[in-house]
Amino acid sequence: MAYKTRKAGILYTNDEFIRYKKNNGYYNHRTFFNDLNKEETDREVQDNYQIKRAPVPTGYELVFEDNFIGNTLDNAKWGTAFNWGTFYGNPVRHGCYFPVDGLGPSGIPTIRVENGILKLDCINDPKQFDINNLGPRDAHRKDKLLNNCNWGNEYTNNPNWNIEFNAGAVFTKQSWNQGWFEAEIKMPINKHLWCAFWLEGVEFWPPEIDVFEAYTEDDDHYINPVPNIHFGSNDNPNSPDQSYKRAWYKPNLEYNFTLYDPAPMKLFAASYRFVQYAVLWTSDFVKIYFDGILYREYNSSDLPPLYSNPNLTMRMILNNGVMDSYDPENEFGDDKPYETATMYIDNIRVYQKP
C-alpha cells in the first residue's frame, strides 16, 4: 500500500510510525503560541490566578456534564483505568500503571472524589506483572507484547516485571461524534509527571485528540502542556484512514523551533489554579484552547478522513502518570513517593449542535 506523506518533512522513529514536521500552512501556529505565551506572561506580572474561559460556540447545547458532587465517582458516567488496559503499549518503558478502581497492592486509591473535586493521584505503589497471568483488562494484549518486533524479546525472556508507580485514570462510558469538550483542571506538582486530558476513538484507534499531555520534566512548578492529533492506518480494515501512515503531529516542531531545542509553553501557576482546557471538533477543523486562548488549529485540508467521519465517536479520558523518560534513578521531588502529585478536576462538559 502506498502511504501519503501529507506535505511533511519526515522524522522516522521506526518502521511503524512517522512523526511529521509540519511547515506548510502553519504560520498561524507561531501566532497562537505567542498569544498564549503573552497571556501567561501577563498573568505572572499581575499575579493573576483567576480562571479565564473560552466561550462555548453559539448554538451548542450541553449534552454531558459532571461537577463531581459528593464523594463518589459516578459509575454510570465513568470507567476506571483505560478501556483497553491498565498499562501503556510497552509497559517496561513506562514508570506507571493504571489499576481498575485505582487500587494497587497498597490498597491506597488513586481515584477519589472529595468535596466536589475529582482527584487523580500518582503514588509509589509497586506492582508485579506476569505476561502469562495478565488481568482481565490486559489479557488480550499478551500476543501483541510477545510478538512485537521491537520489544517482544523482553517479555519472552523476562515474563515478570515491576512497575513502580500507580496512577489514576478515568474514561467516559459515553462517546460523541464532534462537539465542544472542556474541563477545568489544576495540574499536579512534582518532577517528571505526565498527565493528560484526551479524546480516544471508540470504534478504532486512531483517532486521538490530546487536548494536552502535560509534562513537568525537571521543574515541578512549570507545566508544559502539549496538544496533539493522531491519525493513520491501524488494525481495523474499516478505518477510513488506511491510506495514511500512522502518525501524529509533533507540536513544538510546528513553531519553527529546532528539533533538538524546542521551546516549551509554560502555563503560569497551573498547579495552583484551575485552568480551562477545551477542544472544538467539527468536520471543518479542530481547535484547541488553553486558558481561554486559541492555541492550536487544524483545518479540513490538514485533517485525515477520520475526523469528518459521521460514524466515528470518541470518549474522553483523564489520567495522571509518570513521563515515558522515567528512570528509577531520576531525582523527583522532595516528597517522593509523590505525596503532592494530585491532578484536580473541578468539572468536565460536552456541548454539541442539536
Give the chain's length.
Answer: 354
Percentage, residues of the chain above pLDDT 90 = 48
Percentage, residues of the chain above pLDDT 70 = 75
Q: pLDDT, tens digit, for every residue of 101-110?
A: 999 999 999 9
> What 3-state DSSP class applies to 306?
helix
How high is the pLDDT of residue 91?
A: 75
Q: pLDDT, tens digit, for every residue of 238-271?
A: 676 666 655 556 554 544 444 445 567 888 999 8
- Phi first, then psi: give them for residue 151, nearest 5 degrees: -135, 5
Distance CA 345, CA 274 (A): 8
State the CB neighbour count (10 A cutoff) for residue 61: 12
320 within 8 A of 119, measured Cβ to Cβ? no
Distance CA 14, CA 98 (A): 26
Mean per-residue pLDDT for 126-141?
Answer: 92
Q: Rg (Cα) of the chain, in Å, rounded?
A: 20
| Domains of the chain from N-terminus onward | 8-128+141-352 (2.60.120.200)
Sheet containing 160-167: give its strands across.
96-97, 160-167, 122-130
Distance CA 320, CA 323 (A): 10
> What 3-state DSSP class applies to 155?
helix
Distance CA 22, CA 111 (A): 38
How high is the pLDDT of residue 156?
A: 85
- Least-confidence region, from 39-53, 66-80, 205-219, 326-340: 326-340
320 within 8 A of 112, measured Cβ to Cβ? no
Q: pLDDT, tens digit, for every residue of 55-74?
A: 999 999 999 999 999 999 99
- Least-confidence region, from 32-41, 147-156, 307-316, 330-339: 330-339
96 within 8 A of 113, measured Cβ to Cβ? no
How high is the pLDDT of residue 264?
A: 73
What is the chain's mean pLDDT, rounded? 81
